[in-house]
Structure 1
Amino acid sequence: MYAVTVTFTLHPGTRAEFLPLMTENARLSLENEPGCLQFDVCCNDAADEVFLYEVYDSAEAFDAHLQSPHFKSFDAAVADMIAAKTVHTYAEVIQ
């Protein structure tokens, strides 16, 4: 299991345009990427922050996600809406 968290800080006034693009990216990831197990899009009361929680089979499945046409299209469409983006990745600890 490979977990990814992403926190977007959006430019003011862009959340209404950003969220439909983000949720479509999440939907397509779940539908078209066999290694994508979970893709949650979350918001808090701050209008400029969006948080993602994604789970993949492996780091390779996440890399495939980043190369997918729908992700590349999404990434290009929202680039000017993003003030900051923080990505963290976590591999499962197997004991």
Structure 2
Amino acid sequence: MQISLTGRHVEITESLREYVHVKFSKLERHFDQIHNVHVVLSLEKLQQKAEAKINVNGAEIFAMSDNTDMYAAIDALIDKLDRQVIKHKEKNTKH
């Protein structure tokens, strides 16, 4: 899995980069056919926003989350993506 990390009005520190890699590795446990991930971390006034686009076989999954804390926004983003990836996996196994 290839992770591309972009920051808008946010400096991507090494700890933030490592946190994103650890969290996204949890998605691979549920579905191993994730090709690449594009994560955008941004700051808009007082809201920290995290959004991600995942390319999997035959689909593209997008989720967005915002919070006052960047780490909490990433956690909420991972929860949303986890549900969508599991739903995509179940849809593929039924067909």
Same fold (TM over 0.5): no
Q: TM-score, normalised by structure 1?
A: 0.33
Q: Higher relative contact order at CA 8 Å, sep ≥6: structure 1 or structure 2?
A: 1
Q: TM-score, normalised by structure 2?
A: 0.33
